[in-house]
């Protein structure tokens, strides 16, 4: 019979998956643990899995008061919102033309997008920094936002989504009398919302968590985004007081986690939808 052996396969599969999940989750759980430990436990020679005394949210309170953490979170929201808005607004028309346009030289531009896709952002940090410095944008929101307003990945994702929309639909809209902008806004964008959602999520994760670029162009806590802010705060204020530090780290990761949990089904749909199916 198939039944017992397939159940065994199921158990093994779940064990493997659970182990994998634990490996991924362990650092996070560890961080949560430490964020509730009093300072003496962190450095005590004995290992305590649980805090020796319950300090409640003291570390969290300390993280919030010792550093402008809320300020960092606001900065993060402003910067990410601006980046994502620009990326979507730029990627939609670009991707549409790349998918459906009949203009000479389009292949060359597509090639440029692909090149942009494979260049690691870190490689651009120095030239971008020099440009930002010459424009006098160091330590401004503009410096944090402008380099990322055009996303090759976004153009790529949306182009693949537009390619799947049949030409006849666009032609029907033309016959119905819609102009190009309205075709895009009324017909095509609603059809590729899963891909746009995927782009928003990917971009949000990347820029919320970005440490490198803020550390290049931001010099004060005033414009620091959450991860960079926490790093500043570690060095300047708390030194190596890990409890509050990790409490801060958890608070900056929480918004992202929340967004992801709320949208995960649509997000995964979007990713699989843009792949070849």
Partner 1 sequence: MSVLVVRGVSKSFGAGSVLSGIDLDIGEGEIVTLLGPSGCGKSTLLRIIAGLEVADTGAIEIGGRDVSRLAPGARNIAMVFQSLALYPHLTGRQNMALPLRVRRLGRWQRLFSPLRLSQSVRTIEREIDAAVDDLAARLAIAEVIDRVPARLSGGQRQRVAIGRALIRDSRLLLLDEPLSSLDAKVRAQAREEIVQIQRSFGLSCVFVTHDQGEALAISDRIAVMLGGRVAQFDTPAEIYRNPVSLEVARFVGTPTINCFEGIVDAQGRVHTGSFLFDTRLAAPAGDTVTVAVRPEHVRLGPARELSGPVLRVVRVEDHGHDGLVHLGRGDSLAPALIARSGQSTSLRSGDEARVAIAAEEALFFTRDGARLESTPVRMADYARG
- Which range, of 42-50, 51-59, 138-146, 187-195, touches partner 1 by CB under 8 A? 187-195
Nearer to partner 1, 27 or 177 (CB): 177
Region class of 136: left (phi > 0), else alpha (psi between -120 and 50), else beta: left
Give yes or no for residue 176 binding partner 1 (CB under 8 A). Answer: yes
- Which range, of 42-50, 103-111, 164-172, 214-222, touches partner 1 by CB under 8 A? 164-172
Give yes or no for residue 169 binding partner 1 (CB under 8 A). Answer: yes
Q: What number of chain residues touch partner 1 (CB under 8 A)?
A: 16
Q: Which of 82, 173, 199, 202 binds partner 1 (CB under 8 A)?
A: 173
Helix (H) or strand (E) segment spanning residue 150: none
Smallest gap from Cβ 178 to partner 1, in A, equals 6
How many C-beta atoms lie closer than 10 Å to residue 174's C-beta?
Answer: 12
Smallest gap from Cβ 167 to partner 1, in A, equals 9
Contacts of 86 (CB under 8 A, 6+ apart): 145, 148, 149, 150
Q: For residue 10, what are its two tokens?
A: 């199921």
Please list every residue from 191 through 230 that binds partner 1, using CB under 8 A.
191
Residue whose tokens read 């918004």? 255
Give yes or no for residue 106 binding partner 1 (CB under 8 A). Answer: no
Contacts of 250 (CB under 8 A, 6+ apart): 31, 32, 35
Longest dimension (CA), the chain: 77
Smallest gap from Cβ 103 to partner 1, in A, equals 15
Q: Which of 22, 114, 122, 182 binds partner 1 (CB under 8 A)?
A: 182
Helix (H) or strand (E) segment spanning residue 211: none
Nearer to partner 1, 7 or 174 (CB): 174
CB burial string 51-65: b at 16+ within 10 A, e below:
beeebeebbbebbbe
Smallest gap from Cβ 195 to partner 1, in A, equals 14
Using CA atoms, how far apart are residues 222 and 214, in angstroms rounded to an integer?
Answer: 12
Residues that bind partner 1 (CB under 8 A): 166, 168-169, 171-179, 182, 187, 190-191
């Amino acid at each position: 019979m198939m039944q017992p052996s397939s159940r065994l396969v199921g158990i093994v599969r779940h064990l493997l998956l659970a182990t994998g999940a634990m490996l991924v989750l362990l650092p996070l759980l560890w961080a949560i643990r430490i964020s509730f430990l009093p300072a003496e436990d962190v450095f005590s020679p004995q290992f305590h899995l649980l805090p020796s005394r319950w300090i409640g949210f003291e570390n969290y309170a300390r993280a919030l008061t010792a550093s402008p953490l809320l300020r960092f979170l606001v900065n993060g929201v402003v910067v990410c919102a601006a980046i994502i808005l620009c990326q979507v607004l730029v990627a939609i028309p670009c991707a549409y033309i790349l998918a459906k346009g009949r203009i000479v030289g389009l292949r060359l531009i597509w090639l440029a997008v692909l090149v942009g896709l494979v260049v690691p952002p870190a490689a651009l940090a120095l030239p971008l920094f020099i440009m930002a410095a010459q424009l006098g944008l160091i330590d401004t929101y503009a410096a944090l936002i402008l380099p990322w307003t055009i996303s090759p990945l976004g153009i790529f994702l949306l182009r693949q989504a537009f390619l799947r929309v049949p030409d006849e639909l666009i032609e029907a809209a033309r016959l119905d009398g819609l102009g190009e902008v309205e075709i895009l806004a009324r017909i095509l964008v609603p059809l590729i919302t899963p891909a746009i959602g995927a782009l928003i999520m990917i971009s949000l994760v990347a820029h919320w968590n970005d440490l490198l670029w803020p550390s290049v162009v931001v010099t004060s806590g005033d414009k620091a985004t959450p991860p960079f802010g926490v790093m500043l705060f570690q060095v300047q204020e708390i030194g190596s007081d890990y409890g509050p530090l990790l409490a801060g780290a958890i608070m900056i990761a929480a918004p992202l986690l929340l967004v992801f949990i709320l949208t995960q089904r649509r997000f995964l749909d979007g990713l699989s939808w843009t792949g070849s199916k």
